[in-house]
Chains A and B, each alone.
Chain A
Amino acid sequence: KAGVTQTPRYLIKTRGQQVTLSCSPISGHRSVSWYQQTPGQGLQFLFEYFSETQRNKGNFPGRFSGRQFSNSRSEMNVSTLELGDSALYLCASSWGQGNEQFFGPGTRLTVL
């Protein structure tokens, strides 16, 4: 069974730009969660989508948004990039809330 895939794996942007990251979950998984990891921080929850609906949202500014498509693939968008947005962005898929999460390899975003 194919795992969770994320594209692109690496991205370099400049301040003020916007970026879109993509996540394809394991087939059959309807829940996709997004996390941000910065040095010294644990995984910080961004949001979770289930059946194209955002079910939960973490404590991040409105510049961070996402969506989920009917095939459960999810995208995350960050607008007006700031230096502090440089991080590893992980997505994880699962059958449902609270269940074991399967992580993708992450997208490393660098904002210059």
Chain B
Amino acid sequence: ILNVEQSPQSLHVQEGDSTNFTCSFPSSNFYALHWYRWETAKSPEALFVMTLNGDEKKKGRISATLNTKEGYSYLYIKGSQPEDSATYLCAFTTGNQFYFGTGTSLTVIP
């Protein structure tokens, strides 16, 4: 069983603050690293699919980086807004199946 760890487990920030979370994964047999955003009462929604070491992806105020050699990815949110409140999941895949972390629960306080 491959271990994917996310930290912190939960985070409370003020509106306008910038924040970041970490996803650690095995550095061997890497195929891709996915980030998902999961709002309460909704389905997980894909944010980024990252495949190459050094990848940086951006979508609006959210960005992510990838280091496959050391086995970590960072997700950054700039100027957090209340609508960013959600659980952010990362998933490591060898190409065969996905291994999910337990997520970082973000609450943005207005």
Residues of A within 8 A of B (CB): 3-4, 33, 35, 40-45, 48, 55-56, 58-59, 90, 92, 97-106
| With A42-B4, A43-B89, A59-B1 as contacts: A97 and B43 at CB distance below 8 Å | no
Q: Which 5 A-B pairs have the closest CB atoms?
A: A43-B100, A103-B43, A42-B102, A42-B100, A98-B95
Residues of B within 8 A of A90 (CB): 43-44
Chain A-chain B contacts (Cβ-Cβ < 8 Å), number: 56
Q: Determine chain A's interface SS by DSSP, over half rule.
A: loop
| With A42-B4, A100-B49 as contacts: A105 and B98 at CB distance below 8 Å | no
Question: Does the CB pair A103–B44 fall under 8 Å?
Answer: yes
A-B contact pairs, 11 of them (CB 8 A): A41-B102, A42-B103, A43-B91, A48-B97, A92-B44, A97-B96, A98-B31, A98-B94, A98-B95, A100-B49, A105-B43
Kindly report which residue of chain A lies nearest to residue B41, judged by CB atoms: A105
> Does chain A have a CB within 8 A of B52?
no
The contact string, 1 if C-beta is below 8 Å from chain A, for chain B 1-41, is: 10010000000000000000000000000011010100000
